[in-house]
Structure 1
Amino acid sequence: MSQSPEIAILGGGIGGLAAAAFLRRAGLASTIYEQAAELTDVGAGLVVAPNAAWLLRRLGVLDAFTRRAVRLEVGWEFRRWQDGRILSAENLATSCERLYGEQTYTAHRADLLDVLRKAVPEDTVHLGRRCTGLLPREGRPALRFDDGEVVETDVVIGADGIHSVVRHALTESPAPAYSGLCAFRALVPAQDAPPPARRNAQTLWIGPDHHLVHYPVSAGELVNLVAFAPAGDYAVESWTATATVEELLAEFRGWDPRLLDLIRAAGTPGRWALLDRSPLRRWSHGPVTLLGDAAHPMFPFFTQGAAQAIEDAAVLARCLAADAADPATALRRYEALRIPRTTRLQEVSHGRSHLNHLPDGPAQQARDAAFADADPLLANGWIYGYDPDTAAALPR
């Protein structure tokens, strides 16, 4: 193999685009195959914490990103479900940069996709290409597409999400388990939102069996809302499935009137089931590997899904650049560096729903008291202070 392997990336989402951008920065070319006919805004809002913001700065896209992103002044603002009483809040405006060298931002997913797309050559992104399988070949993997074309390459990166074709080909992981939870999401025009939701704050309303998060996105023009509730018999895991405002209101009946006003302005909320997937012990087989949600789907309670995909991309690019002539060795190095961290995040994210959804009573009162004394920004330094370069430089 030459020193510059051919690299195919399946998936043109945040992880796939970040992988292509970091590979290009490391001097390696890649080709992205995305099944959608266009890169759309499905997914609404996300949080870009310091560990992800720092990597966007390394790519040279942070300044462009912040033109539409919202810099948070307050985060981890927990409010009681019934009356909106603040249980705790973190001053991000002064603490984030002091502790971790970057701020925390919220953004529409489309705005992050846009700056990452501009970090890779336009002709390397092939839209409308749906991969249907990974074919065994002597020496080189091959991808089969729905139009019958077969593409051979040196390296395959499966950044194709929770329903990953590459993950299915590499692993025999059990079917996802019913978690008992579902999520609703919506974007509300800022002028229709109550004043508490228009602040540069990430607010979490917590109560029995439910919680709801909101924060501004799109330069403050919209408020992103995501809510979590018992799933009942709902089991559809899709970004395009919808609910009604009435269904979402029914879940939060009796909650603070300001929160109900926000929900009433939500239009047609999206709805999806949270399915539980156990961490994988291996991501790679020879020159084929996984990245982002395809490798480590996690519940969104620590808002690290996009950040971990970007971290994966940075470490993967460094590993491949160091061992370009031996991709299998590079990918083993990559998964060894990343699996312990992403597994830990999967586990802590999984456990968060129980804490947020406690019924009123002694356990809830103890939790609220603990929140009042906590410093989550400092306590989660292992998340926000991560440096992929330092990790990749550890002895082999």
Structure 2
Amino acid sequence: MSGLKVTVVGGGIGGSAAALALLRAGCDVHVYEQVASKSEVGAGIQLSPNATRLLHRYGLADALGGVAVKPSHVEIKRWDDGRILGREELGRAVEEAYGAPYYHFHRADLLSILTAALPAERLHSGWRCVDVRQTNAGATTVFDDGTAIDSDVVVGADGIHSVVRKVLFGDERPRFSGNVAYRGLARAERLTHLNLEHCATNWMGPGGHFVHYFVSGGRFLNFVAVSEQDSWDRESWNDRGNVADAKRCYAGWHPQIHQILGAVDETFKWALFDRPPLSAWSVGRVTLLGDACHPMLPYMAQGAAQAIEDGATLAACLTGIAPAGVAEALANYETWRKPRTAAIQLAARGNATTFHLVDGVEQQKRDAEMAAWVGLSPRREAIFGFDAERLQPAAPLS
């Protein structure tokens, strides 16, 4: 294989998808993941057409369809009485409008498909990056065992606590959002009496919200139970949770929420962090991707989708580029991506307020706006209709 030699630090969803895009662009790509065996515990993920369109181009349509759930719609419910506040069509309506499906996955299922699509010799597990150095002629990634890997480009896809970001821009702690999430899975057969549809459901109430949807071909119901908390002083950003504690957070909420929680064997508690948009992502031959540069709260269901978009745009910017042109290409990548990801980051942060309104005037105004939703929401066009490979300006979010 000819073309630029690229080192991707981080073998999660964003790094693996970027590697697939870069391989298609003719780059000589290797991915280095710090854990020996990548796993995702009790975590669902939603992928909208702006991301699934790209993954289908990478030849993954059949594999994705085999483990995904295609939700028919998204519905918003009131926290106490279950009244439906709003509904937006997904399913066939979205696929016809945007040429790609909306999917629900278990993260482990999605990650397995992405990594299986990479040639085995290009994915290296158990490699922990400790430094990145560069000259005008190239970049060197240094690992904890002293190994140094030379390449033309280094991509930091190593998450919110990115070592590559720290090397480029210094140490800066992410912002605790004041929100924590209990996450977990319930076997579908334990909930058949609820007659739940294959849709995404978001219960909104004072100080929290509760999301659930099916994953793994419908075998499990994934839930995300978000509540507000003043601080997070643990070193780890996730921890094993207690179902009883989760239930206490939803005292007085609709009985269906408690039935879902009662069907769960274990739950994990996650502190939700983000950052304000960075002023820069790249220095010379080194750049960032996904949560390393734009971590966002999961209230737009766009975190993974934007990382996948990053990889597609990065590959487009590096296509046909000689080593001497790398820095300019990475500057172009950043220019194309930053406005879009910043807008989505800030919109997700705004939803942390919108989703958690106490009953009153603002809540009534929100509910009235949601009640006006009919069919396929035009609010989705700027997100779902975007094609990250085309190097086009992003439309403003409505």
Shorter-chain TM band: over 0.9
Q: 1:314 aligns with which of 312, 316, 321?
A: 312
| Partner of residue 289, structure 2 | 291
| Partner of residue 17, structure 1 | 16
Q: Report the identity percentage.
A: 42
Q: Is the contact between residue 132 and residue 146 of structure 1 (CA under 8 Å) also seen in structure 2?
A: yes
Report the more deviating stretch, 209-218 or 193-202: 193-202
Structure-2 change in CA distance of 1:123 and 1:98 (3 Å): same
TM-score of the two chains, using structure 2 as the length reference = 0.94
| Partner of residue 272, structure 2 | 274
User: Are 1:390 and 2:394 counterparts?
Assistant: no
Structure-2 change in CA distance of 1:385 and 1:257 (3 Å): same
Q: Is the contact between residue 176 and residue 231 of structure 2 (CA under 8 Å) also seen in structure 1?
A: no
| Partner of residue 33, structure 1 | 32
Q: Any idea what SS the aligned residue of 1:30 has? A: strand
CA apart distance, 1:43: 5.9
1:16 & 1:243 partners in 2: Cα distance? Answer: 28
| Partner of residue 227, structure 1 | 225
CA apart distance, 1:177: 2.5
Q: Is the contact between residue 275 and residue 295 of structure 2 (CA under 8 Å) also seen in structure 1?
A: yes
CA apart distance, 1:366: 1.6
Structure-2 change in CA distance of 1:133 and 1:271 (3 Å): same
Question: Deviations for 1:338-359, whole angstroms, at most 9, x for unmatched residues?
Answer: 0010000001000001111111
CA apart distance, 1:173: 6.5
Question: Deviations for 1:337-389, whole angstroms, at most 9, x for unmatched residues?
Answer: 00010000001000001111111122211211110003573212101100123
| Partner of residue 241, structure 1 | 239
Structure 1: give runs of 5+ residues left out of the alignment.
Answer: none
Q: Any idea what SS the aligned residue of 2:241 has? A: coil
Report the more deviating stretch, 235-244 or 59-68: 235-244
Letter in 1 for 2:70: R
User: Are 1:7 and 2:6 counterparts?
Assistant: yes
Question: Deviations for 1:242-283, whole angstroms, at most 9, x for unmatched residues?
Answer: 210011000001111111110122222111212231111110
| Partner of residue 87, structure 1 | 85
Letter in 2 for 1:47: Q
Report the more deviating stretch, 43-52 or 371-380: 371-380
| Partner of residue 105, structure 2 | 107
Q: Is the contact between residue 323 and residue 329 of structure 1 (CA under 8 Å) also seen in structure 2?
A: no
Letter in 2 for 1:60: G
Question: Deviations for 1:52-85, whole angstroms, at most 9, x for unmatched residues?
Answer: 111111101022111010011111x000100111
Question: Deviations for 1:34-53, whole angstroms, at most 9, x for unmatched residues?
Answer: 00101212362100111111
User: Are 1:73 and 2:67 counterparts?
Assistant: no
CA apart distance, 1:305: 0.7
Q: Is the contact between residue 208 and residue 227 of structure 2 (CA under 8 Å) also seen in structure 1?
A: yes
User: Are 1:331 and 2:330 counterparts?
Assistant: yes
CA apart distance, 1:119: 2.1
1:173 & 1:370 partners in 2: Cα distance? Answer: 41
TM-score of the two chains, using structure 1 as the length reference = 0.94
Structure 2: give runs of 5+ residues left out of the alignment.
Answer: none
CA apart distance, 1:150: 1.7
Report the more deviating stretch, 43-52 or 307-316: 43-52
Report the more deviating stretch, 164-173 or 102-111: 164-173
Q: 1:170 aligns with which of 165, 168, 171?
A: 168
Structure-2 change in CA distance of 1:204 and 1:21 (3 Å): same
Q: 2:249 aligns with which of 245, 248, 251?
A: 251
1:202 & 1:253 partners in 2: Cα distance? Answer: 22
| Partner of residue 348, structure 1 | 347
| Partner of residue 367, structure 2 | 368
2:115 & 2:194 partners in 1: Cα distance? Answer: 33
Letter in 1 for 2:28: A
1:71 & 1:346 partners in 2: Cα distance? Answer: 25
User: Are 1:200 and 2:198 counterparts?
Assistant: yes
The number of residues matched between the two structures is 392
1:231 & 1:360 partners in 2: Cα distance? Answer: 19
| Partner of residue 97, structure 1 | 95
1:361 & 1:100 partners in 2: Cα distance? Answer: 37
1:14 & 1:71 partners in 2: Cα distance? Answer: 19
| Partner of residue 147, structure 1 | 145
Structure-2 change in CA distance of 1:195 and 1:300 (3 Å): farther
1:298 & 1:57 partners in 2: Cα distance? Answer: 25
